[in-house]
């Protein structure tokens, strides 16, 4: 069995893997939903788009559910505090996600143009809103969230929903939305042909450019020093029990860059976040759509891990009481819980990857208008 500090770091890495898996697998579903009203010009074309993700979207939701469950079990203080501060934002995500199951199930049940357009809007909302809100949440994490603990360790959030929508957070929301849209476009280019494929490729190209420019702009904003990061200034006990109040934290302009100064190899992460999307669209336009999807996935991983590496060991910094900030070391479950969860993850994560890979292999190939018309009652 691993010691307690090692398990804390392992679960920081595993939750990162789950979040990246969610962005890659459910992200391309959401990207397709975002592009639905713009790439699909006719009902048949929109049905083609829906059928590229229809058989898989619910299985891909496993990454989202598992990620939330892992945060609840491994980082209970983070889960409780985040859902207090981001309560309305989380509800907005859930409300948007409601449109997906009913939209996929009901959209093509009735041959009525108005009926189908309404569900198309619902699928667009279900695809576009969650990535935007998740990006805004990351922007607020980098700035710190206004919460504090009282003497009984009861958390109080002192901000408002509208404070979450600050300029920097909106910029990171653009990064998230654009990279997911790009990812969905690359996936569509791989699974379709003809006019739909061409429009998807063009949309992915524009989204990739927006994602990369916004990503670089967010980094430059942080580097300018107008947004202060967080740094632990007291001794910490990596093997200690969860007690976020047992440390002191200072805010400095260069805090989010210190890990990169100490470990220059970390610069590979933002480099992948920039190069991956650009190479993905170049290869997609050249017809190498499968490798383009792999590079798009690497680009998403690079952008997400850049934020994680910058913040380590912080998970949920507090802007109103910096000493109450939640970190990898002091916001986790017990040694026994982390160990038990570790073996569960080792057993079940490969199973999830295996059945997902099998499903995509069985249902691989292009989805065409001709296929939709020939399978009117079985297609979405």
pLDDT in tens, 139-193: 999 999 998 888 878 888 888 888 889 999 999 999 999 999 999 999 999 999 9
The model's pLDDT over 53-102, given as tens digits with 9 standing for 90+, comes to 988 888 888 888 888 899 999 999 999 888 888 888 889 999 999 999 99
pLDDT band for position 259 (cuts 50, 70, 90): very high
DSSP strand E in the chain: where? 147-149, 155-157, 229-232, 249-252, 314-316, 326-327
Residue 161 CA to chain centroid, in angstroms? 20
pLDDT digits (tens, 9 = 90+) for 324-333: 999 999 999 9
Question: DSSP string covering 157-206, please?
Answer: E---TGGGS-HHHHHHHHHHHHHHHHHHHHHHHHH--HHHHHHHHHHHHH
Nearest to 136 by CA among 165, 94, 179: 165
Structural domain contains residue 380: no
Domain assignment present for 139: yes
| DSSP calls for 253-271 | TTGGGHHHHH-GGGGHHHH
d(CA 177, CA 34): 9
pTM strictly above 0.95: no
- 242 part of a folded domain: no
pLDDT above 90 as % of the chain:
69
Computed over every residue of the chain, the mean pLDDT equals 92
Residue 32 lies in a domain: yes
Residue 239 has pLDDT above 90, yes or no: no
- Number of domains forming the structure of the chain: 1
SS3 breakdown of the chain: % helix, strand, coil, rounded to 5?
70, 5, 20
In a domain, 379, yes or no: no
Sequence-ordered list of residues with C-beta below 8 angstroms from that of 167, at least 6 positions apart, any chain: none
Residue 123 located in a structural domain: yes
Q: Quick check: is 173 in a domain?
A: yes
Residue 1 has pLDDT above 80, yes or no: no
User: Could you list the residue range(s) of the whole structural domain that residue 155 is in?
Assistant: 4-237+248-374
Q: Which two tokens stand for residue 365?
A: 């190939």
DSSP E strands in 4-62: the ranges are none
pLDDT at 363 over 90: no
39 within domain boundaries: yes
């Amino acid at each position: 069995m691993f010691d307690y500090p090692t398990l804390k770091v392992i679960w920081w890495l595993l939750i990162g893997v789950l979040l990246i898996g969610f962005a890659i697998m459910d992200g391309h579903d959401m990207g397709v939903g975002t592009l639905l009203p713009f790439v699909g010009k006719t009902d048949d074309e929109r049905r083609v788009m829906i059928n590229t993700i229809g058989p898989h979207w619910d299985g891909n939701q496993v990454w989202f559910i598992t990620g939330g469950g892992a945060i609840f079990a491994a980082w209970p203080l983070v889960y409780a505090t985040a859902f207090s501060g981001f309560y309305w934002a989380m509800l907005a995500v859930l409300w948007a996600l409601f449109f997906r199951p009913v939209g996929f199930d009901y959209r093509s049940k009735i041959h009525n143009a108005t009926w189908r357009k309404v569900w198309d809007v619902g699928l667009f909302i279900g695809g576009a809103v969650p990535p935007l809100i998740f990006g805004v949440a990351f922007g607020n994490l980098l700035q710190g969230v206004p919460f504090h603990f009282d003497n009984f360790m009861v958390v109080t959030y002192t901000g408002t929903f509208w404070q979450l929508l600050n300029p920097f957070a909106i910029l990171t929301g653009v990064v998230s939305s654009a990279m997911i849209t790009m990812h969905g476009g690359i996936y569509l280019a791989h699974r379709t042909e003809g006019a739909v494929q061409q429009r998807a490729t063009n949309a992915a190209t524009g989204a990739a450019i927006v994602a990369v420019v916004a990503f670089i702009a967010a980094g430059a904003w942080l580097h300018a020093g107008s947004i202060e990061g967080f740094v632990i200034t007291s001794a910490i006990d990596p093997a200690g029990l969860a007690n976020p109040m047992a440390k002191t934290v200072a805010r400095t302009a260069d805090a989010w860059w210190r890990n990169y100064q100490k470990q220059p190899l970390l610069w590979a992460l933002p480099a992948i976040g920039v190069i991956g999307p650009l190479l993905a669209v170049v290869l997609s336009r050249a017809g190498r759509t499968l490798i383009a999807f792999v590079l798009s996935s690497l680009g998403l991983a690079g952008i997400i891990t850049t934020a994680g590496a910058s913040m380590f060991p912080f998970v949920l910094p507090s802007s109103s009481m910096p000493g109450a900030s939640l970190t990898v070391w002091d916001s986790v479950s017990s040694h026994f819980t982390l160990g038990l969860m570790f073996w569960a993850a080792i057993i079940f994560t490969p199973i999830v990857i295996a059945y997902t890979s099998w499903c995509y292999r069985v249902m691989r190939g292009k989805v065409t208008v001709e296929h939709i018309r020939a399978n009117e009652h079985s297609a979405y």
